[in-house]
Structure 1
Amino acid sequence: MSALEEPVALPTQRAAGCPFDPAAGLGPLREELPLRRMAYPDGHAGWLATGYAEVRAILADPRFSSRYELLLLPFPGGPEGPLPPAPTGDMTGMDAPEHTRFRRLLMGRFTVRRMRLLTERVEEVTAERLAAMERQGPGVDLVTVFAQPIPALMICELLGVPYADRETFQRQAATLMSQDASLEERGAAMTGLTEYMHALVVAKRAEPTDDLLSDLARESDLTDEELTGLGAFLLAAGLDTTANMLAHGTFALLSHPAQAAALRAEPELAGPAVEELMRYLSIAHTTVRSALEDVKLAGQVIRAGESVTLAIDAADRDPRRFDDPDALDLRRGGSGHLAFGHGIHQCLGQQLARVEMTVALPALLTRFPTLRLAVGPEDVPLRTDMNIYGVHSLPVAWDEV
């Protein structure tokens, strides 16, 4: 067996002082061989895809499954043996045709046009959070005062979930995202979130209001169990990812002051800036698929039943696809990045996330033109223990007038 055929371990440690870059080691592996054998923690010899073309091809190929019970996790310390099937309504762990049935119910409700109609409300919520930051003063944690509340309030209003209950379901969602949580802890969090959502679904069926859950209760053939699971999935998905992009994106901009200055000075740069930040940060850094049959790809044969870990962050830094990929350049636009996924599992809420980020990030930099970190960059706590990367907190300061 040659050196390139020897299974490698998944690199997970980021280089010191490089909070925005993929794990050290992914880049060299990609340049050597963008699809190669990988040793999984349980001894399984599967695959690691790090190249843009390879990752994109696998995401689009129906011969690869995302059903949880077929996957092996690439991270050490996780549960041993097969994973349980996806909970009812969890679209991430479904294949077609079940996935297609759920997605068709939702696609028309998350279109570009519909999400842009929410721009004015996002602007109102953003202004409220900026005022709250100003009241609390320099030293405030951007995560808790700005980054988390904006997407949380928007997804709550969209679904018809009481925002006052956010602490409960945000805690449960965080447990589900934690790599350190045991199966028992994850199960308890899922049970709590499901029970909460079920009570809400029952209430919506009895007295519908003007929101997505009520619309689905009236207009779809979903059972209570299916609507409960789908509602819990949408709520958890809408809370965490955009919040981390707002916080980690701010961290990146404050660490690249010329880029922040450009975004502050050129409002029309907001859209391209969001795409470039998504590409550059790729906070949903890995996902896994399992081959349903033998697949030939990039000169390799992935056998049926073998798991493939897709390094999204490495793919979005592939020099074969992006010029000077390790540079943050808001004028690049980042078009074609894989941070929202690709294929049938491409993020359903991506247009809402784009609206939230396109509004919130420029507004933040404009309201606080002297915004800066209140701690050294090395003291910002990173979410290396979570499935969605970012920062646990981001203390910021500014010059008060």
Structure 2
Amino acid sequence: MIPSPPPRHRLPHAPAPVSWRDEPGTADRPPGPGFWAVTRHADALRVLEDPETYSSLPGSGELPLARRLLSHQDPPQHTRLRDHAARALTSERVRRFTATARERARTLLARARETARAADGVLDLATAVSDPYTALNLADLLGVPHADRRRLPGRTGPHTLDDTTGHARRLVVHRRRYPDDDLTTVLAHNARLTSDELDMLVALLLTTGLAPMHDAAAGGLAVLAQHPEAYRALREGIAELDPAIEELLRLHPPLLTLGRTAATDTDLSGHRVRRGDRVVVSLAAANRDAEVFAAPDRLDLARSPNPHLSLGAGPHLCLGADFARLQLRVLLEEVLRALPELRLAGPVLRSGSGVTGGVASLPVRAG
């Protein structure tokens, strides 16, 4: 995985919708320059939808390779590269994964239940089901050869950006030699992309398509495991799946924060933001803004409208949003079919950093 920002980027309780946060040093880390913390939904949208004022370009302290990632670029270069990827990731290509994803979820659940029943009756929905489910779905989408799937970034511990781009480069070479019906093959045969652009596009899809999807899938199930009445409503057809998925995304965003850099002096909610200042948007806080969401801390499976920011906004709206929603829907449908109840069998163990909200373990009764 691309290394996560250090703990100093975590957003503690903010005293105002926009507030300056110092970054004190630690025993092994010098003090940081500080940043503007943005927690209100309207301000978050203003930042994310205005790349001319709030740039995605990496700061001077970022890894050199990060400067070439699509997520660290602004229009018009970002727009051009994103359009190439979007044309490859068509709605039809996403829909073709439905049957495969369903069979995979069903098989993983059956295997996990069988193993649990032969032991203590407890299965880990995160490690045994949702993590391999999302990883293998991404591998199919990108055309990762079966022999390489255990080396996917995020499945074998931390990966540097060099590791990920090297993996992407090998995958591109393989799919040029052995084309198939997958996203990498389509991108690898796009003559309008340079080799560097192609490597970075595939590297971005490998990273942003895996860890956030892990977190969204396991996180949504964790929310339901803590709300048995909501799970029951879904299983009995009282609540509908599509709005439920949006609400689970709202309450458990896979990314907690997004960072930008002020490209010019500007005013943000009455605060003077100077060129070069870091601006960190808290998606988790914006998703619970009481001015936008009634009873924001309550799980409401029928919430409508639900303008959460869990998949981003503006030019950097999640490229794979349709693929993410498809995976979440199929997985939830199969969990509802397989487990009459979603009962916790132990504590939910959290993972992640100041920018991700992961679930490392989700133990439930096998039923």
**TM-score, normalised with respect to structure 1:** 0.81
For 1:220 and 1:326, locate their aligned partners in 2 and report how far apart those are by CA, in whole Å.
49
- In the alignment, what sits opposite 1:236? 207
User: Structure 1: 5+ residue runs without aligned partners?
Assistant: 1-8, 13-22, 71-81, 177-188
The answer on 1:313 being equivalent to 2:284 is yes
1:205 maps to what in 2? Answer: 176
Paired residue for 1:64?
A: 54
SS of the residue 1:36 aligns to: strand
Closer/same/farther in 2, CA of residues 221 and 275 from structure 1, 3 Å limit = same
1:76 corresponding residue in structure 2: none
2:330 paired with 1:364 = no
Q: Is the 8 A contact 2:154 2:211 kept in 1?
A: no
- Structure 1 CA distance, aligned partners of 2:179 and 2:39? 46
Going from structure 1 to structure 2, the CA distance change for 1:48 and 1:168 (only over 3 Å counts) comes to: same
CA deviation string 1:142-165 (max 9, x = no partner):
222211122212211111112442
SS in 2 for 1:133: helix
1:25 aligns with 2:4: no
Question: In structure 2, what is the equivalent of residue 55 of structure 1?
Answer: 44
Q: Distance in 1 between matches of 2:162 and 2:174?
A: 18
The answer to whether the 8 Å contact 1:88/1:226 transfers is: no
How far did 1:267 drift?
7.8
Structure 2 Cα separation of the partners of residues 145 and 101 of structure 1: 39
Residue 286 of structure 1 deviates from its aligned partner by 0.9
The whole-number CA distance in structure 2 between the counterparts of 1:303 and 1:38 is: 14
Preserved CA contact (<8 Å) 2:262 2:274? yes
The answer to whether the Cα contact below 8 Å between 2:69 and 2:201 also exists between their aligned partners in 1 is yes
**Post-superposition offset of 1:43:** 4.9
Instruction: Tell me which of 208, 213, 225 is aligned to 2:196.
Output: 225
1:133 to 2:112 alignment: yes
Q: Is the CA contact (8 Å cut-off) linking 1:129 and 1:150 kept in structure 2? A: yes
Aligned partner of 1:273 in structure 2 is 244
In the other structure, the counterpart of 1:325 is: 296
Cα displacement (A) at 1:104:
0.8
Provide the secondary structure at the position in 2 that maps to 1:127. Answer: helix
Distance 1:218 1:43, change over 3 A: closer
- Residue correspondence of structure 1 range 160-175 to structure 2 within 5 A: 160-171=143-154, 175=158
Give the distance between the partners of 1:135 and 1:202, measured in 2 at CA.
40
Q: Could you say what secondary structure the match of 1:25 adopts?
A: coil
Higher strand share: 2
Question: What is the correspondence of 1:141-156 to structure 2 with a 5 Å cutoff?
Answer: 141-156=124-139
Shift in alpha-carbon separation, 1:314–1:295, aligned structure 2, 3 A: same
**Change over 3 Å in CA distance of 1:386–1:336 after alignment to 2:** same
- TM-superposed deviation, 1:40: 2.9
The answer to whether 1:102 aligns with 2:81 is yes
Q: Which secondary structure does the structure 2 equivalent of 1:201 belong to? A: helix
Structure 1 window deviating more from structure 2 (280-289 vs 365-374): it is: 365-374
Cα distance change on mapping 1:88 and 1:56 into 2, 3 Å: closer
Identity value in percent: 34
Distance 1:245 1:87 in 2: 24
Number of residue pairs the alignment of both structures matches: 350
Q: Which runs of 5+ in 2 are unaligned?
A: 1-6, 25-30
Q: CA deviation at 1:110?
A: 3.1
State the AA in 2 paired with 1:279.
R
| Structure 2 letter corresponding to 1:280 | L
CA distance in 2, matches of 1:143, 1:241: 13
Distance 1:11 1:107 in 2: 31
Report how far residue 50 of structure 1 moved.
0.6
TM-score, length-scaled by structure 2: 0.88
Q: Which stretch shows the higher mean deviation, 236-245 or 218-227?
A: 218-227
Distance 2:162 2:111 in 1: 33
Deviations 1:93-118 (A, max 9, x none): 11122211210101123344542343
Deviation at 1:55, TM superposition (A): 0.6
The 1:10/1:269 distance shift into structure 2, 3 A limit, reads farther
Distance in 2 of aligned mates of 1:174 and 1:233: 17
Structure 1 distance, partners of 2:285, 2:50, is: 19
By relative contact order (CA 8 Å, sep 6+), the higher-ranking structure is 2
Compared with structure 1, are the counterparts of its residues 357 and 314 closer, same or farther at alpha carbon in structure 2 (3 Å cutoff)? same
In structure 2, what is the equivalent of residue 253 of structure 1? Answer: 224
What is the alpha-carbon distance in structure 2 between the residues aligned to residue 192 and residue 319 of structure 1?
42
